[in-house]
């Protein structure tokens, strides 16, 4: 059996050579859901969790409530970072002078007020702006499960704001990054 050569992207190569031991040898690579490099080297992505939510929800209170978009991850190391990517879809307001407020929580702690005046027009006109997003790098310092979620509120107590209008799909993705 000849060695298998994998060419580098610009030059050089890596080579897998057959074993000197007699008999069959098997070299197994992970399937499409696996990874070849799970070493805890700084910058490596150790795991990815993704969740979606698409139920239209309205709110006319300035008190925050859950959007339904949530995901949990259990870090493999207490030194890992968690990169949180959120795309809150279908954002807007219907009437009156108000705006949509959005925030990101880790468990029950607010870690980012990522939108304070979405859809605000200063008038009573409806305003649907599409999506609001946040990218947040967290240091949970734990190997216990951590839950990230979004919450929303209306800046005015009597005016309705919406998320996931027309069943638009919101997403949250959690990436564990080796420190």
pTM surpassing 0.95? Answer: no
140 closest CA partner among 174, 102, 171:
174
Q: What is the pLDDT along the chain (179 residues), one digit of tens a residue?
A: 566 666 666 777 666 666 665 555 555 445 555 554 556 788 899 999 999 999 999 998 999 999 999 999 999 999 999 999 999 998 887 777 777 889 999 999 999 998 876 656 666 666 677 789 999 999 999 999 999 999 999 988 778 888 999 999 999 999 999 98
41-177 is classed CATH 3.40.50.720: no
Q: Are strands 146-154 and 65-73 parallel, antiparallel or unpaired?
A: antiparallel
Structural domain boundaries of the chain? Answer: 41-177
d(CA 118, CA 12): 51
Give the model's pLDDT for residue 99: 79
C-beta atoms surrounding 102 within 10 Å: 25
């Amino acid at each position: 059996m000849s060695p298998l050569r994998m060419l580098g992207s610009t030059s050089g190569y890596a080579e897998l050579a057959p074993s000197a031991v007699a008999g069959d040898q098997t070299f197994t690579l992970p399937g499409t859901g696996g990874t070849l490099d799970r070493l805890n080297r700084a910058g490596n992505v150790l795991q990815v969790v993704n969740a979606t939510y698409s139920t239209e929800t309205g709110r006319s209170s300035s008190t925050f409530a859950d959007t339904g978009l949530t995901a949990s991850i259990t870090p493999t190391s207490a030194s890992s970072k968690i990169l949180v990517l959120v795309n809150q879809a279908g954002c807007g307001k219907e009437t009156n002078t108000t705006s949509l407020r959005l925030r990101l929580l880790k468990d029950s702690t607010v870690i980012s007020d990522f939108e304070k005046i979405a859809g605000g027009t200063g008038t009573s006109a409806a305003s649907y702006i599409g999506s609001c997003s946040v990218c947040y790098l967290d240091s949970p310092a734990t190997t216990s499960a951590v839950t990230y979620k979004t919450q929303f509120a209306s800046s005015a107590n009597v005016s309705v704001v919406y998320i996931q209008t027309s069943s638009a799909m919101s997403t949250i993705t959690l990436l564990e990054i080796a420190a």
